Structure 1
Amino acid sequence: MSTMGNGNGSNVHPESLDPLDPFRLVAEKCKEAGSEFEITARGTNVDLAVAIPNGRQKRWRRLSRDQARSYLANPFTEVMYLGDLDACLFKDARTIEATIQLHGTGPRLERSVFDIPGIRKLDDGQLPLDEELEDVKSSDSDSGDRLRPGDDWVLDVEEAQGLSYKVELGTASERFTEFTTRLYRPGGRSSAYLARSQIRDKFSTLRLVDVDVTRHDEALQLLTRVSDALFFEIDLRFDVPLKLAAARDRVKRQRRRFVSRSDVATAGVRAPRTAYSEKPLSLYWYGRASTGVPLLEFLAYYQVLEYYFPSYGRRDILDKLRHELRDPRFEIEDDAHLSRVLMLASQAGKGFGSERDQLKATVKGCVTEGHLKEFLESDADFGEHFQGKALKSVARIDLKDRKNDLLNQVANRVYDIRCRIVHTKEDGGESAAEILLPFSKEAESLGPDVELVKFLAQKCLIAGASRLHG
């Protein structure tokens, strides 16, 4: 046995518990299977946590006694979680099951799929995991008994020649309901009870039955390959955009909005005195409306910065041109003087350097090093993220780096991420880095970088604002 190592409470030996205590019985099952578990005591409260394998990693589940009894009724040592998805491989039943949901926001998934041909209502409730589809009772399709939200259902998927497994869509099976992270509530009632007793807790899954895989990577690859193909064809034929759901315990804490310390003391809402440019502000609101879609959100805020490239990218040249024209010695009849003006004007027409250079000029034109330090120090997690390796092939930001200008560090990181979103290796783009894919771990770790580029977009909008006239 090994423990979670959280340092909370004191370890309890299973044999010190009542022989019929479900915590002790689960612990004994874990010992037999060589699985990890932990029993701890906090005063008079006793807690049990078990480790469910997930490839080279594991997911710890803290159980109530009701949940422990449910685990005993199901061979939990035959269960394996799959990657970052809310998905399980049930090795003894040779079945993979994964929670599905709609892309984006919209109606309940069931309302979107209820008109797909082949869908059937299950009269006897949730589908047992090992039940043959042909033996499940269903309502007569001609009876006029339409499916309604909250009904248990199954969608027959026609078998394809050459495939040894069956594909099913429908209400989650009873067994999967015990292990899903969607309904997991540490120390609460059993998830199965909640799912059966409340319509709002019912959810739908994709099941692959009679699979010939036992290893984590093979099962995850099979699930991904089948779901990608099936969901794309369902979308083509029925306009229903499905996806596999991420594990609930994978979801990070909600990003904390950055608020300047100088803003905290400001009381109340005052009438606006400043007008902001309409077009970049529209792009900013597009970014705010894209919350939860990190790549799209990042690009929307980047476009705000991009809008100001001409202003900040040419500012140095325009200042030189202005100084040239203001020089009392400037003679309009002197060809040499006019040639200098023409040369500066031609440079201004071409912009100021590469896109990376224009981004650097924009960052330096709208934000100070002090502003950036305040932002980067506003969250304890920012330092580790911006210096870490969560994102490959992007510049890091280190406040302690005295050799590299902080403004340049920030601009380089923002531009590297932008290139990873819009360029592939084959594009021949400046970064030549691997594309940053939606729904990947890298994309889901992008939160602090989205906050950073949003902060820069806000500063650009402020710097480009004018006085509001009545």
Structure 2
Amino acid sequence: MKVKPEISSLFGFAGAAIDNPSLAFLSYYQILEYYLPLAVKRKALREIGKEVSDPLFDKSNPESLMRVLSLGERSFHGTESSQLRTLVEECVRAKKIEGFVSGPEESEHFGKRGPIKGVGTVSVNNKQQTLGTQVADRVYAIRNRIVHAKDDPKYDDAPPILPQSVEADALGPDISLVRFLASEVILDVQGGL
């Protein structure tokens, strides 16, 4: 398996940051962030491919062409959170996510009574959202709580996760989760687009 040096460096650094959970989490997150554009482009290519393969697609019809153009444009205007959802849905095997979050300790940690407040829960029993979406939203919320340590009303729902805080020290399962996601993405991109 050939892994880009910068990804290998981030992965190694995250693994070595045992004494700084917030930094370990962010280093694994950076791997996911690196691959966001690839996942979004991959999804756009698949959707465009379906559109132009449709027997009703007419290359001389402006409406048909606008649908293709719209699919391409949409891929470049997504928020980071929507791109992360796309990355997880595109690159991480759903059964692997289910296996990862289904243990009794994981269910408790990622559940409503878990130690990390102000982030989404992850439950195999949630029929409203896929596990991939739940996981992506949780990871993104934790990332924001670590990164946005400022007095901004947008982040009033939960205080920042500061280094050496009780919540930072409780990030272990979330670090394992984001490490798992990074590993899955690295494995998936080996096949290219």
- Distance, in Å, in 2 between the alignment partners of 1:431 and 1:371 is 33
Identify if the C-alpha distance between structure 1 residues 430 and 309 changes in structure 2 by more than 3 Å, giving closer, same or farther.
farther
2:84 matches 1:363: no
Contact 1:359 / 1:411 at 8 angstroms: preserved in 2? yes
Contact 1:423 / 1:429 at 8 angstroms: preserved in 2? no
1:285 to 7, 12, 16: 12
**Structure 2 length normalisation: TM-score?**
0.84
Deviation for aligned residue 1:432: 5.0
Partner residue, 2:100? 375
- Distance, in Å, in 1 between the alignment partners of 2:63 and 2:98 is 46
- Distance, in Å, in 1 between the alignment partners of 2:102 and 2:68 is 45
Give the number of aligned pairs: 190
2:72 matches 1:345: yes
Contact 2:43 / 2:90 at 8 angstroms: preserved in 1? no
Deviation for aligned residue 1:314: 3.8
2:112 matches 1:385: no
Larger Rg: 1
SS at 2:44 equivalent: helix
Partner residue, 1:419? 144
AA in 2 matched with 1:406:
L
Gapped regions of structure 1 (runs ≥ 5): 1-273
Deviations 1:127-152 (A, max 9, x none): xxxxxxxxxxxxxxxxxxxxxxxxxx
Partner residue, 1:455? 180
Partner residue, 1:316? 43
Task: Give 1:259-338 correspondences, 5 Å limit.
Answer: 274-327=1-54, 330-331=58-59, 334-338=61-65
Partner residue, 1:434? 159
- Distance, in Å, in 2 between the alignment partners of 1:383 and 1:327 is 43
CA root-mean-square deviation? 2.5
AA in 1 matched with 2:50:
H
Deviation for aligned residue 1:325: 3.7
Contact 1:436 / 1:442 at 8 angstroms: preserved in 2? yes
Deviation for aligned residue 1:285: 1.9
Contact 1:425 / 1:433 at 8 angstroms: preserved in 2? no
Gapped regions of structure 2 (runs ≥ 5): none
**Structure 1 length normalisation: TM-score?**
0.37
Higher strand share: 1
2:123 matches 1:398: yes
Contact 1:295 / 1:438 at 8 angstroms: preserved in 2? yes
Deviation for aligned residue 1:414: 0.9
Task: Give 1:112-127 correspondences, 5 Å limit.
Answer: none
Deviation for aligned residue 1:362: 0.9
- Distance, in Å, in 1 between the alignment partners of 2:23 and 2:106 is 21
How much identity, in percent, do the aligned residues show?
36
- Distance, in Å, in 1 between the alignment partners of 2:28 and 2:74 is 27
Deviation for aligned residue 1:408: 1.9
AA in 2 matched with 1:381:
E
Contact 1:281 / 1:461 at 8 angstroms: preserved in 2? no
Deviations 1:180-213 (A, max 9, x none): xxxxxxxxxxxxxxxxxxxxxxxxxxxxxxxxxx
Contact 1:276 / 1:464 at 8 angstroms: preserved in 2? no
AA in 1 matched with 2:141:
D
AA in 2 matched with 1:386:
F
Deviations 1:74-95 (A, max 9, x none): xxxxxxxxxxxxxxxxxxxxxx
- Distance, in Å, in 2 between the alignment partners of 1:319 and 1:335 is 21
